[in-house]
A and B are shown apart, each in its own frame.
Chain A
Amino acid sequence: MTHPSHLLAEFAAGTLPDDRAGRVARHVADCPGCAAELTGWHQVAGAVGDRVAAVAVPSPGLLAGVLSRLAPHRAGAPGVPRYAAPLGGAATRRAVRILAAQRRLVDRRVWLVAAVVLAVGTAVAGWAPPGISEQVLAIVVPLVAALGVAGACGSGTDEAGELVAASLTGVRAVLLARLTLVLGAIFGAASVASLGLVWFDAGTPLVLFAAWLGPMALLSAVSFALSVLWRPAVGIGVAMVLWVLRLLAGANALDGTVDGLVEPLWRTSAPLLLVAALLMAGTVVLLPHLPAGLGRRAYGR
């Protein structure tokens, strides 16, 4: 056996597992060098042990003091601490602070991918002849929104998950903040892009906005619900299926029945926006009541 010098300290402390301790003991018996090393460690262990042993056992009064300060326990439910107030007075200020905190926590890649795809899409739309521009936006914006929402809100996607779970802010507030943040940013960017296109005479504002607003709301709502309640891959997957069906329908690659099913989803209408809003609201309301396992990693239940 080679000299177990690195194990002697633990051996002297008695914390080595039995099998390794046995081997060390056999080695030390035959090796004067290691035996002297071990004696040195024993001296250290003895001195430290004496010092620690000299510390008196804590007095009974100490335990009584602790017991008197114990808060009553709600059995089995440590749970996420609820947001109490110290973030700052007014509700609006609190909301701004929560939003700002989430902005830092959302994965930077979400912003990067969204910005690049939107920029490229807008450039293509600007370059396309009027009449095609809005179709380009109708393809690009909903996709960006669906992916962004899944990336930012999906369960377990987020390295800061544990932090979120431990924060004072409630689950719903965190989720709503993220949704607002991502959708707000993408909506803002898409609006700027559309107005830019209007400026370049690539279409009229009403047509341009109507082209992407409805499908963006629906696709991101579907992606949001499935990402939060199930997992981001499912949310992204279903949104992508709808998106690809729409692409194929646009290229006349599908028969009329599928066209008829997909086409209404790409229209900005009151029922469509209502369905999207209900889907999102339902998800936020449901989340804290779900059994453990669903969406629990990111939202800590």
Chain B
Amino acid sequence: MDDVDRGLLHRVAAGDQRAFEELYVRHGQPLLAYAEGLLGDRGRAEEALQDTFLATWRGAGSFEGRSTVRTWLFGICRRQALGRMTGHRPAPLPMEAAAEVPAGEPGPEAVALARADARAVAAALAELAPAHREVLDLAFGAGLAHAEIAEVLGIPVGTVKSRLFHARAGLARALPDNTGLGRPLPERAALGRTLPDGTGCGRALPDDVAAVGVSGREAGP
């Protein structure tokens, strides 16, 4: 996939308009969806998309291949969209506590989400903090790998993972009938600890889960 993109971008750098149009066909829609998610407005999202591709045309020669072409395009699009945000830039997230990565036991959010119907989840999506919606968009809408998201957002991969968990928790909290999800759940951690290992789904953490960050409590809202 990226080989094709690189070939196209190489031709764009040489001034090939055909290749440019092909690049637009391949990535225009996901980029527009991403911009629209950021800006919440079709018109301004379209402007951001146009500027993204103008910048791509101008900057194709300076692409250094340190990331995938797709990551590069999303990075440009993000800058264009952020530059277009009038007044209400999304407040930076409060310090991102390491998300609890549940091991083996399904978290209450997962259970609540699994039970909820699709329309309720879609409605909850609209309630989400912009930064959380953005990371969900990149992961599940644009289909970027976590390493790519980390590059687009300029944050470590571990933060991408924990932000996704926070986003999912926020989504579950925004569901109707979500009593109990908003508060820290010490009893859940206790439950995890008392589960015996070796039952197939006991509390066993791989090393790199620990790297993502495991806290004993649910991070507060």
1/0 contact string of B97-138 vs chain A (CB within 8 Å):
000011111110111111010100110110000000000110
Query: What is A's interface to B at a CB cutoff of 8 Å?
Result: 2-6, 9-10, 12-16, 30-34, 36-37, 39-41, 43-52, 55, 57-58, 62-63, 65-67, 69-78
**CB of B46 closer than 8 Å to a CB of A:** yes
SS class, residues of chain A in contact with chain B: helix
Q: Contact at B106–A70, with CB atoms within 8 Å?
A: no
Known contacts A33-B106, A43-B113, A78-B61; A66/B136 CB under 8 A = no
Cα A15 to Cα B164 in complex, Å, equals 14
SS class, residues of chain B in contact with chain A: helix
Give min CB distance, A50 to chain B, whole Å. 6
Q: How many A-B contacts at CB < 8 Å in the complex? A: 175
Q: Which of B24, B53, B106, B125 contacts A37 (CB 8 A)?
A: B106
Give min CB distance, A161 to chain B, whole Å. 13
- When distances are taken between beta carbons in the complex, the residues of chain A under 8 Å from B201 are 3, 31-34
A-B contact list, 26 entries, CB within 8 Å: A3-B205, A3-B209, A9-B165, A13-B143, A15-B139, A15-B146, A16-B145, A31-B200, A31-B201, A36-B110, A36-B114, A40-B112, A40-B168, A43-B118, A43-B121, A49-B140, A51-B37, A52-B137, A52-B140, A55-B32, A58-B46, A66-B50, A70-B20, A75-B15, A76-B14, A78-B61
Query: What is B's interface to A at a CB cutoff of 8 Å?
Result: 13-15, 17, 20-21, 24, 28-30, 32-33, 36-37, 46, 49-50, 53-54, 57-62, 101-107, 109-114, 116, 118, 121-122, 124-125, 136-137, 139-146, 161, 164-165, 167-168, 171-172, 200-201, 204-206, 208-209, 212
Cα A14 to Cα B141 in complex, Å, equals 11
Q: Contact at B14–A44, with CB atoms within 8 Å?
A: no
Q: Which of A6, A30, A40, A76 contacts B101 (CB 8 A)?
A: A6
Q: Contact at A46–B118, with CB atoms within 8 Å?
A: yes
Give min CB distance, B201 to chain A, whole Å. 4
Cα A223 to Cα B165 in complex, Å, equals 56
Cα A287 to Cα B169 in complex, Å, equals 57
- When distances are taken between beta carbons in the complex, the residues of chain B under 8 Å from A33 are 102, 104-106, 201
Give min CB distance, B49 to chain A, whole Å. 6
Known contacts A31-B104, A31-B201, A41-B110; A9/B161 CB under 8 A = yes
Known contacts A32-B201, A40-B168, A58-B49; A2/B121 CB under 8 A = no
